[in-house]
Structure formats: structure tokens, C-alpha cells
């Protein structure tokens, strides 16, 4: 059984920063792609950023230049550094990992950016 646990969300003023973490635990041999998604109230879940096992990254246009995704394979942990936060970044953020060809999701962490 694999579990993903996110942390680092919270309330921040516009222009501020937060760092999200997502740690995987359980029966893990190797982790392929990892990513962060978010879902704002009344909206569909959307991709924020993804990182491959080779550390190639891609970002949503709305966060390019402000967010940075990274991974620590030794710790089975995924990160998202979020800078210059905007009120429109307010959402529940979910991590996703592909482990042995199965998709796993975290429970979500809430990010609220006040204007």
C-alpha cells in the first residue's frame, strides 16, 4: 500500500511564498512521473507542474516563472516552491505520483492567497 501525504499549505498574502511537500510511503520500488495539480472551488482539477524521472519539467502557463517543482528520490518526496503568489492561486493542491504504473494521489492541502 502506498500513501502520499502533503504538507505546507496555508494562508499567505499576495506576493508571498509557500513550499508544498508530498512524501510517499509504503511499498515503493521506483517512482516515475510526479506532479502537482490544483482545484479551485467550482472548477475542475488542473495541472500545475509535472516532473519526470529524468527531472524534465513542465508547468502551466499561469505559474511559469513563479513556481518550481523538484523531487528528492532518496526521500521519495516531491516539492513545489511557490513564489509571488496571487489570489487566483487559491485552491486545494494535490500531489500525484506514478509508481509501478499505478497512479496515486495525496489527500490535498489548502492554499489560500489573500489580496
CB atoms within 10 A of CB 38: 23
- Name every residue whose Cβ is closer than 8 Å to that of residue 9 and which is 6 or more positions away in sequence: 18, 20, 93, 109, 110, 111
Confidence bin at 89 (pLDDT 50/70/90) = very high
Residue with the larger pLDDT of the pair 113 and 29: 113
- Name every residue whose Cβ is closer than 8 Å to that of residue 44 and which is 6 or more positions away in sequence: none
| Amino acid 1: pLDDT | 85
| Amino acid 29: pLDDT | 80
List the one residue out of 113, 93, 89 whose CA is nearest residue 38. Answer: 93
Q: What is the pLDDT of residues 56-86, one digit of tens each?
A: 999 999 999 999 999 999 999 999 999 999 9
Phi, psi of 30 (to 5 degrees): -155, 150
Q: What is the pLDDT of residues 40-51, one digit of tens each?
A: 999 999 999 999
Rg over alpha carbons for the chain, rounded to the nearest Å, is 13
- How far apart are alpha carbons 1 and 3 in whole angstroms? 7
Amino acid at each position: 500500500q502506498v500513501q502520499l501525504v502533503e504538507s505546507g499549505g496555508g494562508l499567505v498574502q499576495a506576493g508571498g511564498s509557500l513550499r508544498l511537500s508530498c512524501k510517499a510511503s509504503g511499498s515503493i520500488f521506483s517512482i516515475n512521473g510526479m506532479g502537482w495539480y490544483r482545484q479551485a472551488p467550482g472548477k475542475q482539477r488542473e495541472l500545475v507542474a509535472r516532473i519526470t524521472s529524468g527531472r524534465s519539467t513542465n508547468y502551466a502557463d499561469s505559474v511559469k516563472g513563479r513556481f518550481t517543482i523538484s523531487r528528492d528520490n532518496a526521500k521519495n518526496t516531491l516539492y513545489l516552491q511557490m513564489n509571488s503568489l496571487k489570489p487566483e492561486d487559491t485552491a486545494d493542491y494535490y500531489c500525484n505520483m506514478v509508481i509501478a504504473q499505478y497512479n496515486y494521489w495525496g489527500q490535498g492541502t489548502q492554499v489560500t492567497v489573500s489580496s
